[in-house]
Chain A
Amino acid sequence: MFRKILIANRGEIAVRVLRACHEMGIAAVAVYSDVDRAALHVRKADEAHPIGAAAASESYLNIHKILDVAERSGADAIHPGYGFLSENAKFAQACVDAGVKFIGPTAAAMEAMGSKTRARQAMEKAGVPFVPGTSRGVESLAEAEQVAAKVGYPVMLKAAAGGGGKGMRLVHAREELKSSLEAARSEAERSFGDSEVYIEKAIVNPRHIEMQVLADEHGNTVYLGERECSLQRRHQKVLEEAPSPVVDADMRRRMGEVAVRVAQAANYTNAGTVEFLVDQGKNFYFLEMNTRLQVEHPVTELITELDLVHLQIRIAAGEKLPFKQSDVRIRGHAIECRIYAEDPDNNYFPSPGKITLLLEPAGPGIRIDGGIYEGWTVPIDYDPLLAKLIGYGADREQAIARLTRALGEYFAGGIKTNIALFRRILRAADFRAARLDTGFLDRMLKRPEDNPADSKTAEVAAIAAGLFAALGATERGARNGAGSGLPASEKPASNWKSVSRSEALR
Chain B
Amino acid sequence: MLYDIAIDGRNYRLELDCAEGRWSCRLNGRNFEVDAVLARPDVLSLRVGNLAYEVKSERVANGLHLWVGNTRFAVEVRDPRSLRGRIRAGDDQGPRKIVAPMPGKVVRLLVREGDEVEPGRGVAVVEAMKMQNEIKSPKRGTVQKILVTEGAAVNAGDVLAIVE
Nearest chain A residue, comparing its CB with the CB of B84: A492
Jot down 23 A-B pairs with beta carbons below 8 A, ordered by A.
A346-B101, A350-B131, A353-B102, A357-B43, A357-B56, A380-B105, A383-B130, A413-B56, A420-B70, A454-B71, A457-B73, A464-B44, A466-B16, A467-B46, A475-B38, A488-B64, A489-B3, A493-B84, A493-B85, A493-B86, A495-B97, A496-B62, A499-B99
Interface 0/1 of B20-45, CB less than 8 Å to A:
00010101000010101010111110
Q: Does A368 contact B (CB under 8 A)?
A: no
Q: What is the CB-to-nearest-CB distance from A247 to chain B, in angstroms, rounded to a whole number?
A: 33
CA distance A357 to B56 in the complex (A): 9
Interface size on B, residues (CB 8 A): 75
Query: Within 8 Å CB of A454, what residues of B?
Result: 71
Closest 7 CB pairs of A and B: A496-B62, A350-B129, A484-B41, A493-B85, A488-B77, A413-B58, A489-B79
Query: Interface size class for chain A?
Result: 35 or more
Specify which chain B residues have a CB less than 8 angstroms from the CB of A457 in the assembled complex.
Answer: 68-69, 71, 73
Q: How far is the CB of A468 from chain B (nearest CB, A)?
A: 5
Q: List CB contacts (< 8 Å) of B99-133 with chain A.
A: 99, 101-105, 119, 128-131, 133
Q: Are A499 and B71 in contact (CB under 8 A)?
A: no
Chain A, residue nearest B11 (CB)? A462
* Docked-complex contact A463 and B14, CB < 8 angstroms: yes
Q: Report how far A489 CA is from B88 CA in the complex, Å.
A: 16
Q: Which residue of A lies closest to B131 (CB)?
A: A350
**B residues apposed to A, CB below 8 Å:** 1, 3, 5, 7-10, 12, 14, 16, 18, 23, 25, 27, 32, 34, 36, 38, 40-44, 46, 48, 53, 55-64, 66-71, 73-79, 82, 84-89, 91-92, 96-97, 99, 101-105, 119, 128-131, 133, 138, 156-157
Distance A234 CA – B55 CA, assembled complex (angstroms): 34
Q: With A465-B77, A466-B3, A470-B1 given, is the CB distance from A408 to B70 under 8 Å?
A: yes
> Which A residues touch B7, using CB under 8 A?
458, 461-462, 465
CB distance from B135 to the nearest CB of A (A): 10
Judge whether A446 is part of the interface by a CB distance below 8 angstroms.
no
Q: Which residues of A contact B42 (CB under 8 A)?
A: 356-357, 413, 484, 486
